[in-house]
């Protein structure tokens, strides 16, 4: 019968239309801007509205989410920053768009290189967020961040210096707890060996 | 990867024939034959007519600089299945000419134009040899090894200026023009007359106009900015009334010379760039490239990695086909309802990619010899839930909603047909080829990874019209769900990487062609290594690009509005077309 297919199609959309209304109203006021609301809407078994009202509502980012690298430092007893980076240059070599520049520190008296970066710069305009630097860093010194809101009015500011890139280890432990645990337990025997 | 049940070319006599006219390839790591360049058409015609090599998958060029030769490489297949027959033809670098393959395989048309554009090889007998990705008047042929781009720093990465004495600067400081352009010596914009547009209009107006009626052809531009062109694609058409007389796609608005970038990069550095080809299905792109380099390196991933790869590739197929079908309806004028229904499913699949790889679209998940990291257990649970409960239900919903809809049927049935012979001749792959009734699916014809172990049907339809392409995609999603169920049930525990992950992989000299059945068709990666950290040649056989070759054939005789339906059914992604 002509028109039957169209009617069937319309029935699908009409059903969806009412479903979204009733499912959305089941939680009443709690439907928007609450964790409960987000979870009820954004999951595979929902029948109702699917969208998240960014920026008031946010997804919980999965641990592996990656956006722009940052440098890890440990806060030492004097309150200073001990960067884990040894300026070995692997991240600069593996970086596909070549957006990492490292100037290795050298001893002022002897002129020999020491395992610390003097200057560490990332051009975040060029960075393609591939995560290879973090993946191949042998010292867990560079990791991928979760912060993705980086709009600026001046593009020149997007040349990030070591100050802007540095974040404490605690922050890393917070955004990637599972990875942090695994890396720490892998490092523990080495540390002990070094101490003993 | 495994070619066990493929009939070797020695049995059907092609080898004996080739031995009489060509020389076996002797360079280490190379396979196939070196054919005399002036005989290429004769030899390939013989192979096509007598040995059934009816499918010219890929034609590409290679620059042997500093040797004074250029090479044209042909990858021939049989549409009945089997491995590749590789032919190399070497020509003089200073006067590169070779006979065109277009009289034999129409599918060579765009590929040869691309080689002319990027290598400067003249194809004699080509009906329309213009530049395709760059503009007429462009200075030089970029894929030649001695051509240098505006922000040229060094031949290969990693650049020495980054470490240990790196000094950051903004990239535009490097170019005196402070922009991504360079002009040949002596160029002044005043004295330059653009010639491309005239050539283009001449090419599209080549059809004879009806003499009896005093009508005239009208040249009509579709795009580059047009809501139905899936990006910046331009098609120039000659129309008689509203009927299409001829049509030429104008490509290259998104061109960045992916292959040149690839040749500057190390092998591993190319991986994230492959994501940006067909950005709807980056996992499949990773897959094809990983297979090609693994062939060269002679390694295979561990069992679990293989299962994860296939799982990701099939999830990608579902998400890509969902979008293809949704946006086909968009092109037909159904506005956004169907595409948003399908985007909902894609959203959930992208969450899976995000949790496993760290990024929703630019996954960069595959490594040579495995995958970057294991899939978290909760993600596997999520995939299982999707595959068991949600996806089959939603595919059925889309089916109910669209398949018997009279408006869809009227707009798509019988429109833009391709016969099976035409489709093969045009080197069409993927759902379009199968909708024309050719059961050609690389997962079956030249199996890779673990597809030999999995049960699924190669979906074919018979009419070869837009409607059948829609039906093939719908049914392929169901087959993907079937594959996913098996993969999830059989997935073993274990490592996901062969050997230690290294950032500078050692790739022995040689050539390899790795190809996968991507959602859009046969995605091939042709890689030549000369033992250095960077590939000597890196070529992408992009399915969307080659499928565009048949766009004119499919559109002629139809109305302008039908061109949009045909384009929607070809399912192009401009990131891959323009590369």
Nearest to B540 by CA among B59, B80, B137: B59
Contacts for B151-156 with beta carbons within 8 Å, 24 or more apart? Answer: B151/B175, B151/B180, B155/B264, B156/B264, B156/B265, B156/B266, B156/B532, B156/B533, B156/B534
Report chain B's mean pLDDT, rounded to a whole number.
87
What is the edge-to-edge ordering of all strands in the sheet holding B55-63? Answer: B23-24, B33-35, B85-92, B69-77, B55-63
First-to-last CA distance in chain B?
A: 26
Tokens coding B129: 């040899």
User: Distance from B164 to chain A by nearest Cα, in Å?
Assistant: 5
The CB density around residue B425, as the number of other CB atoms within 10 Å, is: 23
Please tell me the distance from the alpha carbon of residue B257 to that of residue B131, in angstroms, as a whole number: 14
pTM: 0.90
* pLDDT band, residue B211 (cuts 50/70/90): low
Stretch B380-405: mean pLDDT? 89
Res B207: pLDDT: 55
pLDDT of residue B213: 62
Q: What is the DSSP string of A40-75?
A: HHSSTT--S-----TTTS-PPPPTT--EEEEEEEEE
Tell me the β-bridge partners of A145.
A67
Pairing state between β A166-168 and A67-75: parallel
Interchain contact A1–B (C-beta under 8 A): no
Q: Do A101 and B357 touch (CB under 8 A)?
A: no
Question: What pLDDT is attached to residue B210?
Answer: 59
B74 to chain A nearest CA, in Å? 30
φ/ψ (deg, to 5) at B439: -80, 65
Cβ contact, residue pair A12, B400, below 8 Å: yes
Question: Any idea how long chain B is?
Answer: 579
- Pairing of the two strands A113-123 and A142-145: unpaired
Tell me how far apart the alpha carbons of residues B311 and B317 are, in angstroms, rounded to a whole number: 10
In the predicted structure, residue B401 carries a pLDDT above the cut 90? no
Confidence of residue B167 (pLDDT cuts 50, 70, 90): confident
Task: Collect the ranges in chain A with pLDDT lower than 50.
Answer: none
Beta strands in B308-464 (DSSP E): 366-367, 370-371
Q: What is the pLDDT of residues B72-109, one digit of tens each?
A: 999 999 888 888 889 999 999 888 999 999 999 998 99
Pairwise CB contact (< 8 Å): B269 & A132: yes
Please count the other Cβ atoms lying within 10 Å of the Cβ belonging to residue B406.
Answer: 15
Asked if B157 reaches chain A (Cβ–Cβ under 8 Å), the answer is yes
Of B163, B165, B359, the CB nearest to A129: B359
The verdict on B355 touching A (C-beta cutoff 8 Å) is: yes
pLDDT in tens, B504-560: 888 899 999 999 999 999 999 999 998 889 999 999 999 999 999 999 889 988 998
Most confident of A23-27, A28-32, B1-5, B328-332: B328-332
Between CA A81 and CA B566 the distance in angstroms is: 60
The reported pLDDT for the residue numbered B3 is 44
Considering only CB atoms, A89 lies closest to which of B163, B408, B501, namely B163
pLDDT at B4: 45
Distance in angstroms (rounded) separating the CA atoms of residues B109 and B247 = 14
The answer for residues whose C-beta is within 8 angstroms of residue B248's C-beta and 6 or more apart is: B128, B200, B203, B204, B235, B236, B237, B552
Task: Tell whether the model's pLDDT for residue B6 goes beyond 70.
Answer: no
Sign of CA dihedral B178, B179, B185, B188: negative
Q: Enter the DSSP assignment of A18.
A: H
Q: For residue range B423-481, what is the model confidence (pLDDT) as tens digits?
A: 999 999 999 999 999 999 999 888 888 998 999 999 999 998 999 999 999 999 999 99
Nearest to B158 among A2, A5, A93 (CB): A93
pLDDT over 60 (residue B208): no
pLDDT of residue B11: 58
- Give the B window 197-256 contacts with A, CB below 8 Å: none
- B359 interface with A at CB cutoff 8 Å: yes
Q: Is A65 touching B (CB cutoff 8 A)? A: yes
Parallel/antiparallel/unpaired status of strands A67-75 and A142-145: antiparallel
**How far apart, in whole angstroms, are the C-alpha atoms of residue B336 and residue B79?**
37
Say if residue B334's pLDDT is above 90.
Answer: no
Mark yes or no for CB contact A144/B373 under 8 Å.
no
- Signed CA dihedral, A68, A155, A151, A170: sign only: positive
Interface contact A111, partner B, CB < 8 A:
no
Spatial neighbors of B84 by CB under 8 A, at least 6 apart, are B32, B57, B75, B76, B77, B446, B513
For strand B535-541 and strand A100-106, is the pairing parallel, antiparallel, or unpaired?
Answer: unpaired
The length of chain A is 196
What pLDDT score was predicted for residue B91? 92
pLDDT at B212 over 70: no
pLDDT for B170 beyond 90:
no
Who among B348, B385, B503 is closest to A93 (CB)? Answer: B503
CB contacts < 8 Å between A and B, how many? 142
Contacts of A5 in chain B (CB under 8 A): 403-406, 408-409
Q: Do A5 and B354 touch (CB under 8 A)?
A: no
């Amino acid at each position: 019968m002509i028109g039957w297919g169209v009617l069937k199609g319309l029935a699908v959309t009409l059903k969806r239309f009412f479903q979204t209304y009733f499912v959305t109203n089941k939680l009443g006021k709690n439907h928007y801007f609450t964790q409960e609301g987000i979870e009820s809407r954004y999951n595979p078994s929902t029948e109702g509205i699917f969208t998240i009202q960014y920026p008031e509502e946010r997804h919980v980012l999965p641990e592996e989410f990656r956006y722009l690298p940052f440098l890890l430092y440990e806060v030492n007893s004097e309150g200073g920053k001990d960067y884990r980076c040894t300026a070995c240059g692997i991240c600069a070599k593996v970086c596909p768009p070549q957006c990492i520049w490292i100037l290795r520190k050298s001893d002022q008296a002897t002129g020999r290189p020491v395992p610390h970066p003097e200057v560490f710069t990332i051009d975040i305009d060029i960075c393609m967020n591939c995560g290879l630097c973090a993946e191949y860093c042998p010292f867990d010194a560079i990791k991928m961040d979760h912060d993705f809101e980086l709009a600026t009015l001046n593009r020149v500011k997007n040349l990030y210096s070591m100050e802007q890139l540095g974040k404490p280890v605690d922050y890393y432990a917070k955004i990637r707890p599972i990875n942090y645990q695994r890396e720490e337990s892998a490092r523990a025997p080495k540390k002990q060996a070094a101490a003993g | 990867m495994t070619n066990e049940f493929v009939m070797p070319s020695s049995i059907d006599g092609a080898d004996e024939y080739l031995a009489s006219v060509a020389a076996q390839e002797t360079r280490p790591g190379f396979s196939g034959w070196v054919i005399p360049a002036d005989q290429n058409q004769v030899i390939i015609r013989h192979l096509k007519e007598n040995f059934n090599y009816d499918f010219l998958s890929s034609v590409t060029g290679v620059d042997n600089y500093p040797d004074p030769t250029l090479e044209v490489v042909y990858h021939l297949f049989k549409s009945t299945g089997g491995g590749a027959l590789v032919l190399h033809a070497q020509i003089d670098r200073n006067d590169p000419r070779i006979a065109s393959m277009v009289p034999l395989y129409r599918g060579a048309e765009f590929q040869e134009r691309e080689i002319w554009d990027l290598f400067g090889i003249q194809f004699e007998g080509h009906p329309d040899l213009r530049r395709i990705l760059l503009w007429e008047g462009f200075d030089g042929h970029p894929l030649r090894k001695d051509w240098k781009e505006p922000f040229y720093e060094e031949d290969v990465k990693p650049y020495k200026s980054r470490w240990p004495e790196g000094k950051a600067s903004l990239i535009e400081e490097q170019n005196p023009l402070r922009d991504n352009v360079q002009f040949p010596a002596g160029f002044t914009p005043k004295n330059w007359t653009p010639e491309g547009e005239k050539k283009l209009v001449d090419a599209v107006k080549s059809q004879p106009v009806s003499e009896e009626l005093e009508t005239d052809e009208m040249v009509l531009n579709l795009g580059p900015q047009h809501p139905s062109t899936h990006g910046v694609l331009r098609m120039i058409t000659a129309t008689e009334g509203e009927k299409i007389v001829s049509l030429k796609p104008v490509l290259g608005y998104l061109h960045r010379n992916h292959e040149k970038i690839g040749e500057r990069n190390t092998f591993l550095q190319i991986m994230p760039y492959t994501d940006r080809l067909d950005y709807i299905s980056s996992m499949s792109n990773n897959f094809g490239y990983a297979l090609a380099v693994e062939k060269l390196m002679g390694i295979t991933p561990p069992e679990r990695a293989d299962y994860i790869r296939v799982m990701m590739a099939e999830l990608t197929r579902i998400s890509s086909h969902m979008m293809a079908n949704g946006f086909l309806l968009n092109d037909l004028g159904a506005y956004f309802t169907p595409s948003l229904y399908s985007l909902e499913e894609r959203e959930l699949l992208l969450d899976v990619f995000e949790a496993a790889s760290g990024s929703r679209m630019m996954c960069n998940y595959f490594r040579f010899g495995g995958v970057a990291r294991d899939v978290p257990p909760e993600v596997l649970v999520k995939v299982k839930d999707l595959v068991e409960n949600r996806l089959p239900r939603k595919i059925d919903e889309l089916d109910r909603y669209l398949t018997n809809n009279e408006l869809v049927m009227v707009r798509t049935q019988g429109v833009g047909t391709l016969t099976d012979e035409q489709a093969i001749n045009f080197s069409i792959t993927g759902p379009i080829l199968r909708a024309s009734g050719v059961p050609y699916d690389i997962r079956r014809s030249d199996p890779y990874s673990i597809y030999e172990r999995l049960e699924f049907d190669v979906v074919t339809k018979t009419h070869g019209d837009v409607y059948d392409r829609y039906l093939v995609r719908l049914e392929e999603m169901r087959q993907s769900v079937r594959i996913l169920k098996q993969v999830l049930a059989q997935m073993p525990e274990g490592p996901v990487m062969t050997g230690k992950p290294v950032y500078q992989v050692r790739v022995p000299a040689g050539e390899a062609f790795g190809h996968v059945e991507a959602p859009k068709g046969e995605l091939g990666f042709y890689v030549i290594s000369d033992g250095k950290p960077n590939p000597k040649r890196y070529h992408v056989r992009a399915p969307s690009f080659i499928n565009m070759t048949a766009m004119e054939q499919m559109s002629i005789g139809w109305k302008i509005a039908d061109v949009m339906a045909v384009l929607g059914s070809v399912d192009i992604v401009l990131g891959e077309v323009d590369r």
